[in-house]
Structures are given as C-alpha cells and as structure tokens.
Amino acid sequence: MILRKLFIFNILLVAFVGSVFADDEGEKKEFNAAETILHHVQNTHDWHLTDYYGTDESGKKVKKSVAIHFPWFFYSSKTGFEFFGSTHAMHEDGRFVAYHEHPKALAAGMSIPEDYHGHGDLPEETFEADHFILDLSPSKAVVHMILVGIALMLIFIPIARAYKKNEGKAPKGMQSFFEPLIMFVRDDIVKTYLPEKAVNKYLPYLLTLFFFIWFSNLFGLMPLSSNIMGNIAVTGALAIMTFIIVQVNGTKDYWTHIFAMPGVPKGMLFLLTPIEIISLFVKPIALMIRLFANISAGHFMILSLICLIFILGKGGESVGGALGIMPISIAFTIAIFCLEMVVAIIQAYIFTLLTSVFLGEAMESHDDHH
Amino acid sequence: MEGVDGNIGVIGAGIGAGLAAIGAGMGIGRLTASAVESIARQPEATGDIRGAMILMAAFIEGVALFGEVVCLLAVFV
C-alpha cells in the first residue's frame, strides 16, 4: 500500500515539475485591468502560482514566475502518441522555452532553430504541421478537476462505508455533516421530479453531479486555484452528459410530443415541430451557459474589485489612492465572496434540478391525460 | 478608424449587458413578488412554491445570461 502511494507520488513528481523561469518584461508597464482579469480566469497549460522580481545572470532586474507545468500529450497521425514531460525536463537541451511555447510544433516533428531560447515569436509557418495532431495534454482545469475528484472520493467513499457499517444507527462524523445534503438531493430534487422506478437508478449520477459542481465551485474560490466551472468546455461536457442521458431515456410519448404533438392541427405541426427540435438543443446549451456565466461573473466581480486598488494606486505611484480604496475594495470583495459561496451551492442545485426535470419529462408517460 | 470601431463595439456591449440585466431584474422581481404573495396566502405550500420559484428564476436568468455572453463576445472577440 505504502509502495503504491510512493509510486503514484513519484509519477506526479516526474510529470509535474515546477519551474521558475525569467520573463523579460521586468520594465514597468501600465496596469491593464482587463488583461489581468482575463489572465486569471483563463485555462492554461501551467498552474501559475506567483510572480516575483529577481535578477538574471547579468544582474538585470527581471520578473520571474513560479509555476507548475503539466505534461504534454499529443496524438499525431504520423508518429502516434507523443509524450513530453514538463518544460523543466526539456531544459537540458536548451530548448525548454521552445517546448513550453510550441510543444505542438515538436509533436509535429518540426525543428526549433538552435539559437532560439527566448520568448520572442518564431515565424508562424515554422509550426504548420502537414498532418493531423490532436492535443490531449491536461490543462489547469483538467488537473484541478482531478483534484476535486480525489477530494470527493476521500470524503464520500468513507461515508458510503459508514452507511453500510452503522446501518440503522445514527450517522457519525463526516456522515452526519453530509447526510442532510444527500437527503435534500434525494427527496427534494430526485424524488420530486423523477418517476418512482428511476430514482435509485439515477440517484448516484445526480448526487455526483451535485457534489462535483459544488466542490468545484468552492475549489475555484480558494486562492491559487482556477475556476473550473467558469470554463465553458467543462460545463459543456456536463451539459452533453445531461443531453445524452435525457435522449437515451426518452419514452415513445416524449418523442411523439416532439415530432407530432398530439391534439394539434396538422398545419400547426409545421411550426411546432421545428420549435420543439430547437428546444431540444437549447435546453443543454442554456444549462451550459448558466453555470459558466454565473461562476465566471463571480470571478470577474472579485477580480475587478481587487483590481480597483491597482487602478487607483496607478501601479505603485499613488499610495494614497490605493490606501483610500483598499478598505472599500476589501469590504466589497468579502461581501461578493460570501455571495459566491451561496451561488456555488445554488448553481449546483439548479444544474441537478434541471437535469432531473428534463430527465423526468423524458421518462414521463402521458397516458393519463391524452 | 479601428479604434473608433472598437469603442462602438464596447459601448454596444455595455448597453446590451445593462438591458439584459434590466430584463432579468424585472422578470425575477415579478416572479418573486408573486411567489412571496402566494406564500403569504398559503404558508403550508411554501416548499412547493419555493421550488417552482427557483426553477423559473433559473430559466429567466438563463435568457439574461445568453444576452450577457453575447455582450462578452462583443468585447473580447
């Protein structure tokens, strides 16, 4: 057991080597709030922890950043699967920056000029691959989702075991903290909207959905983390899962109501059927955008309020301005932060609720009123 | 000329975001007003009314967020 743990730890260490590299943009730049905010909400290939000012070999003052770089993983139609470690591993042959910025080019079998070490842009055509390349490398959101998944497993597997162990007895410890929430999802969401026979089949998925979204949102509010659900690809994937589950479970009645609504004149169907088909796709798209926009909006708000200090402080020139706005900015940030903690669980609730509503709609049979 | 175009886009996005917020605010305001009124009339149905309210608020909010995302695209893309 210990050996296995060590092994996993070792793999993590090898794959995710942290690196410190210098950036030539040490000179004073005007503070750009939009750029800063976008940089913070973007999904990247490294986990950027912090920046600091240091000196390079020639004694020049440069901005250095501390970041954890994730491994690169490509599928190339010419060479098959290609795996690169983090940028640090590439440092030895003097090309780590090139790997860092253009790993796709290397997967394509392009050669990087020997004298290229810096951050300067290489001509674009150097990296035009003549064959198909699929970028499968994990990004920040992926790694953070895995972390959330591990946290979920660490919390909920013991809880599930505890339910088996003290069956019929009062819950203990962590179990008693999460029991009200589990009961809430089961009774107020799943049992209300799903037909009786489907409750036990879909309860595990819906519980996972609820806690995964909630934990991801809370994780996103922690310092140094990324906003997982503020990434439209993540919410899109969740929405696609909802879409597939709903369509797979659609009864005959469900499809009849889409393609030929009963009790409607034939002429009206020309109008109604396209609308029904569009609404089929609008539902998951709305799910995707709702979660994405809510979580992104919260991050934008918090970052904008923090950026106010830097805008009024004019990048360190006006200390009075920064000090003046600081209490207001911090107070508002704390208020928004508390609101976001609530939004985190409300959005998880709404996503789970709507998924069960759509699922319930698809599984319902309309024999009773037609 | 490029700068002027960019500015007009940003102004449009700002106005659009505001209008979407007005729409959602009015919608959710009316919804909540009715829901609170119904709860006052029939306190025993609080749970059902709250559930329906949150569901409908989510739909209204969804439409508003479509608008906001379009505005975001107008600024950044």
| Tens of pLDDT, residues A306-333 | 888 888 887 667 788 888 888 989 999 9
Partners of B74 on chain A (C-beta within 8 Å) are none
What does the pLDDT average to over B3-9? 63
Partners of A350 on chain B (C-beta within 8 Å) are 54-55, 58
In angstroms, rounded to a whole number, what is the distance separating the alpha carbons of residues A172 and A321?
A: 52
**Out of B51, B54, B65, whose CB is closest to A290?**
B65
In angstroms, rounded to a whole number, what is the distance separating the alpha carbons of residues B21 and B9?
A: 18
Number of CB pairs, chain A paired with chain B, less than 8 A apart: 34
How deeply is A368 buried, as exposed, middle or buried, from its count of CB atoms within 10 A (0-12, 13-18, 19+)?
Answer: exposed
pLDDT in tens, A96-151: 334 444 555 555 555 555 554 444 444 444 444 556 666 677 888 888 999 999 99
Does the structure's ipTM exceed the value 0.90? no
pLDDT at site A271: 87
Residue A46, H or E segment: strand A46-55
pLDDT at site B24: 92
Asked which of A23-37, A152-166, A178-192, A214-228 is least confident by mean pLDDT, the reply is A23-37
The first and second tokens of residue A114, run together, are: 């020997």
Asked which of A274-283, A358-367, B10-19 is least confident by mean pLDDT, the reply is A358-367
How deeply is A116 buried, as exposed, middle or buried, from its count of CB atoms within 10 A (0-12, 13-18, 19+)?
Answer: middle
User: Residue A199: how many CB atoms within 10 A of its CB?
Assistant: 16
What does the pLDDT average to over B41-64? 87
Question: Is the pLDDT assigned to residue A284 strictly greater than 70?
Answer: yes
DSSP string, A280-299: HHHHHHHHHHHHHHHHHHHH
- Contact B54/A353, CB-based, under 8 Å? yes
For chain B, the average pLDDT equals 85
In chain B, which residue's Cα lies nearest the Cα of A287? B62
Is residue B76 within 8 Å of residue A39, measured between CB atoms? Answer: no
In angstroms, rounded to a whole number, what is the distance separating the alpha carbons of residues A236 and A328?
A: 36
CA-to-CA separations, A264 to A252, A260, A261, A367, in angstroms, rounded: 17, 8, 6, 17
Interchain CB contact of B61 with A (< 8 Å):
yes
Interchain CB contact of B16 with A (< 8 Å):
no
Asked which of A26-35, A89-98, A285-294 is least confident by mean pLDDT, the reply is A89-98
pLDDT at site A351: 94
In angstroms, rounded to a whole number, what is the distance separating the alpha carbons of residues A31 and A24?
A: 17
- B26: amino acid identity, one letter: M
Interchain CB contact of B68 with A (< 8 Å):
yes
User: Residue A81: how many CB atoms within 10 A of its CB?
Assistant: 11
Mutating which of A242, A294, A304 best tests the B interface, going by the most B Cβ atoms within 10 A? A294
**Out of A192, A290, A297, whose CB is closest to B62?**
A290
Is residue A108 within 8 Å of residue A100, measured between CB atoms? Answer: no
Q: pTM of the prediction?
A: 0.79
pLDDT at site A234: 92
- Contact A293/B58, CB-based, under 8 Å? no
What does the pLDDT average to over B19-43? 94
**Out of B47, B54, B69, whose CB is closest to A350?**
B54
Sign of CA dihedral B35, B38, B40, B43: negative
pLDDT at site A300: 87
- Contact B76/A350, CB-based, under 8 Å? no
Is residue A315 within 8 Å of residue A30, measured between CB atoms? Answer: yes
What does the pLDDT average to over B4-19? 80
- Cα first-last separation, chain A: 61
What does R_g of chain B's alpha carbons equal in angstroms? 18
